[in-house]
Structure 1
Amino acid sequence: MTSAPEPPASDDGHSRMRAADADRELVQQILAAALTGGHLTAAEYEQRSGRAVLAKTFGDLDTLTDDLPVTQLGVALPQPGDPYPSRVSSGSGREPIRSRLAILSGSELTGAVPVAEHLSATAILGGVEIDLREVEFTAPHLTIQCLAIMGGIDIVVPPDVAVEIGGGAIMGGFGGGKAAGPGTPGAPTVHITGFAVMGGVEVKRKERGVGGWAQRWGWS
């Protein structure tokens, strides 16, 4: 009997991200199609199906499908550009990011990184860029405390999170226009507060780039 392949030695970051029920269900469909098509024996299917139920991360799921011709099994896979939900993770084991500081310089937060419940962003004669579209939320509410002094803080949020903006400014700006508003059920809430002096804090909603689930699993 052939067991599922071992995890790859390298880790590109996505493998540590926590999987959701929808991800596990998709892998179950792939395994069932592989069984029907003769790519897996009944014993192999039973073994992998059991592991899929218990999978916690994308890396766990990767090992169950890496040796299968996924795109040829007839399963409706997420396509490049398809949205995937923002969700709260129970933790990938990595230390959450709690601050970003830019003094006469620039700093950014982007990609599949864990973010703590409270995040401070300080820009003094510099700029901070925070992109939450791919981050790992570790709590249902994320508060971003902003301070911009003759500098700028740009925050990008995904379309499905709830956004609350409350801050002040002197000879500057603090706001998000149409960015504030409700999100989809189950998505995190982002609270943005703070102060800007001769600087600005700007919040924008943006769709995620091409990739989505398909890019995470290398299907795009």
Structure 2
Amino acid sequence: MTSGLPEMRASDEERERFAEVLREAVAEGRLDMEEFGQRLDAVYKARTQGELIPLIRDLPAAGMAPAAPLADPSAGTRRSWPARIGGAPTSKGAIAVWGGFGRRGTWTVGRKFTAVTLMGGGEIDLREANFEDRDIVIRCFVLMGGVSVVVPPGVEVDVRGFGLMGGFGDATTESADEVAPGAPRVRVTGFAMMGGVGVERRLTKAARQRLKEQRKQQKLARKTDREIGKGERKELG
């Protein structure tokens, strides 16, 4: 039985994925500029997935499937969202009186998490957390203190708390198409008096490093493309 893969039409996104593999290869010295230019031209001219695969078969990413999603540098972790949802919670609440608490790193947040602070503070960091359920409610009760809630990009957030001489700050606004498929939904609610609750999005250190490297590679790719363009113009001379 013959595979249907060679007959499958390639998308623009797939062509760009293969082009990125070639850019990484030339940056690592696996391809010289001449061969890189030839393969890159072939990638953008390819009509089917079968024409794309041979162009990276001898490179480290040779086993990638054409339909595999690109790695997201903004994600707090490389685990997929479905893999992070479910399981017994390791924490359902925290209390800080004249002190503080922290929930960060790899932990499992309960579907209902209650935070109470009295002249104290706390941090609830969900960037590398697992979730008992897809729908999570974080209830914050603050008196002369504060709670910081940190979420990764892609998570849907709804902030509905009430403040009296205090408030709830939401710095997580994202459009609907920026919410990652399968990501948990987090609702932050509660009451703050003479204190505050802040909700924000932040990348993990590892994700920031991946984003930095990706931008570096993109910059190198643009430089390489410009050099190729100059060489072609000289040849046409």
Q: For the superposition of Structure 1 and Structure 2, which TM-score range results when normalised by the shorter chain? A: 0.5 to 0.7
- Work out the CA distance in 1 between the residues paired with 2:60 and 2:124: 38
Q: Secondary structure at the match of 1:139?
A: coil
The structure-2 alpha-carbon separation of the partners of 1:114 and 1:172, relative to structure 1 and needing over 3 Å to count, comes to same
Which gives a bigger RCO, structure 1 or 2 (Cα 8 Å, sep 6+)? 1
| Residue in 1 that maps onto 2:184 | 188
Q: Secondary structure at the match of 1:144?
A: strand
TM-score calculated relative to the size of structure 1:
0.56
| Residue in 1 that maps onto 2:43 | none
Number of residue pairs aligned between Structure 1 and Structure 2: 140
- Which protein is richer in helix relative to its size? 2
| Residue in 2 that maps onto 1:123 | 117
Q: Secondary structure at the match of 2:206?
A: coil
The structure-2 alpha-carbon separation of the partners of 1:210 and 1:128, relative to structure 1 and needing over 3 Å to count, comes to same
Residues 125, 150 of structure 1: 8 Å contact kept: yes
| Residue in 2 that maps onto 1:74 | 60
Deviation of 1:109 after TM superposition, in Å, equals 0.4
Residues 164, 181 of structure 1: 8 Å contact kept: no
Give the unaligned 5+ runs of structure 2. Answer: 1-58, 65-69, 211-237
- Identity percentage of aligned residues: 35
Deviation of 1:79 after TM superposition, in Å, equals 7.9
Output the amino acid matched with 1:172. Answer: G
TM-score calculated relative to the size of structure 2:
0.52
Residues 89, 108 of structure 2: 8 Å contact kept: yes
Residues 167, 175 of structure 1: 8 Å contact kept: no
Measured on the aligned residues, the alpha-carbon RMSD in Å equals 2.8
- Work out the CA distance in 1 between the residues paired with 2:174 and 2:115: 19
Show the 5 A alignment for 1:155-194.
155-179=149-173, 182=176, 183-194=179-190
The structure-2 alpha-carbon separation of the partners of 1:184 and 1:118, relative to structure 1 and needing over 3 Å to count, comes to same
Choose 1 or 2 for highest CA Rg. 2
| Residue in 1 that maps onto 2:206 | 210
| Residue in 1 that maps onto 2:99 | 105
Q: Is 1:141 matched up with 2:135?
A: yes
- Work out the CA distance in 2 between the residues paired with 1:131 and 1:95: 15
Output the amino acid matched with 2:185. Answer: T
Show the 5 A alignment for 1:53-72.
none
Deviation of 1:191 after TM superposition, in Å, equals 0.3
Deviation of 1:116 after TM superposition, in Å, equals 0.9
Output the amino acid matched with 1:163. Answer: V
| Residue in 2 that maps onto 1:199 | 195
Give the unaligned 5+ runs of structure 1. Answer: 1-72, 215-220
